[in-house]
Amino acid sequence: MPEKVGSAAHPKGLYVLFATEMWERFNYYGMRAVLVLFMTKALMFDKVFASNLYGSYTGLIYLTPLLGGYVADRYWGNKRSILAGGIIMAIGEFILFFCGMLYKSNPDIAALLFFSGLGFMIAGNGFFKPNISSLVGQLYPAGDKRTDAAYTIFYMGINVGGAIGPFVCGLVGDTGNPDDFKWAFLAGGIGMLLGVITLQLLHNKYVVDPQGKTLGLTPANVSPKFYKPITMIVGLLLFSLVTIGLIYADAKIFSYLFYLLIACILLIAYIVFSDKSLNSIEKKRVAVIFVVSFFVIFFWSAFEQAGASLTFFAEEQTQRDLGFFLVPTSFFQSLNSIFVVTLAPLFAWLWIKMGKREPASPTKMALGLFLLALGYLWIAFGVKDVQPGVKVSMIWLTGMYAMHTSGELCLSPIGLSLVNKLAPVKFASLLMAVWFTANAFASKLAGVLSALYPDGKTTYIAGFAITNLYDFFMMFVVMAGVASVILFVLASRLKKMME
């Protein structure tokens, strides 16, 4: 049954996009939930290498949509790009499945398959991710009041997939036997194919604009040579080879990703601020985008520990035995999505209820950083004075994820909306790229920080020693807490610059 808002039903196309995105998130989060466990338990990578590789993988995941969005806008259209990206991601999962079959009998081939699988996932995500969200708004006439509700429903689809993925993949793959990880990758690949099939069967009929015209087809005046199947297949394979090379080089040869990301941000800043057609008000608004993008780095680098150091903590130092059932480590990565579905309506209601007292966007984002710091303070107290090897209650991880999700709801949708509102029309896509590049930087930094996990050793950051889990979690309390205070102080100034 279509969702009703007022007297008007949402178009059926919304539910086609909902289902497609849900299966993609099932695939991505299900795979992410077991990734560092597979690296450390099956491939026998040490935690430092696994953490850094996780950071490289998630960092590149945020970068490739810049190319995928460009190709879709100019040559392939949204539908063709989503289908191509989904198939490439499914292939990536199946490559990882074969890696999971061969890691004992042929470790060299397994290592090659592992990097290949990650490369295909990164390449496919680049074509899938930027194109599906943009179709949601096009289902409605300009100014339609249902659009906000539509994005809320779509966001729920993302989080339904994000909740079910780690649960299913954890149930079949995270069994305590490393031989079973392959089933998690297989489940992710099947989920991705279900998303592709859903879109292929239903897109043309239901994903239509208010006049009934199918959305996301080939852009006008594009030569057919650009979207011939052979051209697309060769192009996607070459791009996948490039992404395999990129992740292998960053992990094994030279960690270049930070430098590349900084160069991208500086180049975009130069392009925008040197443009003579922008007036001073527009340039101030662009400056606000750069400032808030800088602060989100501190948020996501701590938040993204979920797939790295917090997975190590859940595996080794969390009491998961209920007596009748041993909770798989990967289940904890469903908590964020479950809390989003639970808490998002509450936050939406709260902002409306506050009316004129509703805080400005930079203040909300500062509050998000504060809640993140509070979550790490909670878990730091949970492990204070606990001896190595002693397991603590699941309540510490669960409570931390609840606070982190509250922080995410104050920062993530608010930040995206702010970039959309403040960006001059001619630079809308380029400035959205700044936001995603900041996310990529944060994801890579998350891997570097996870490598400081005190696994029976002392690690150092900025001259401070991290000798136990309390020190490790307090690092994030200080980092997010200081960033939060500075952003609170800057908020009124940023509000004036936004005009």
Q: Which of helix, strand or coil describes residue 11?
A: coil
**Superfamily of segment(s) 8-255:** MFS general substrate transporter like domains (1.20.1250.20)
Q: Looking up tokens 């290949």, which residue turns up?
A: 116
We find that the CATH architecture of domain 256-499 is Up-down Bundle (1.20)
Query: One digit per residue, pLDDT tens: the chain, 499 residues?
Result: 444 444 468 889 999 999 999 999 999 999 999 999 999 999 999 999 999 999 999 999 998 988 888 888 888 988 999 999 999 999 999 999 999 999 999 999 999 999 999 999 999 999 998 888 778 878 888 777 777 778 778 888 889 999 999 999 999 999 999 999 999 999 999 999 999 999 999 999 999 988 889 888 888 888 888 888 899 999 999 999 999 999 999 999 999 999 999 998 899 899 888 888 888 888 998 899 999 999 999 999 999 999 999 999 999 999 999 999 999 999 999 999 999 989 888 888 888 888 888 888 889 999 999 999 999 999 999 999 888 778 999 999 999 999 999 999 888 878 877 887 888 877 877 788 888 899 999 999 999 999 999 988 888 888 888 999 999 999 999 999 999 999 999 988 988 887 7
Alpha-carbon span 300 to 291, nearest angstrom: 15
Q: Where are the domains of the chain?
A: 8-255, 256-499
Helices in 333-427 by DSSP H: which ranges?
Answer: 335-354, 361-383, 394-422
The DSSP secondary structure of 379-399, one letter per residue, reads HHHHHTTPPTT--B-HHHHHH
**Residues 236-248 as b or e (16 or more Cβ within 10 Å = b):** beebbeebbebbb
Residues 6+ apart with CB under 8 A from 435: 289, 293, 296, 415, 416, 419
Residue type, 407: G
CA-to-CA dists, residue 314 to 258, 309, 426, angstroms: 28, 9, 46
Single pTM value for the model: 0.90
**Residues 276-301 as b or e (16 or more Cβ within 10 Å = b):** eebeeebebbbbbbbebbebbbbbbb
Q: Which of helix, strand or coil describes residue 210?
A: coil
Which run of H or E residues covers position 459? strand 459-461
**Residues 402-424 as b or e (16 or more Cβ within 10 Å = b):** bbbbbbbbbbbbbbeebbeebbb
Residues 468, 471, 477, 480, CA torsion sign: negative
- Based on C-alpha coordinates, what's the Rg of the chain? 22
Q: Does this chain's domain 8-255 share its CATH topology with 256-499?
A: yes
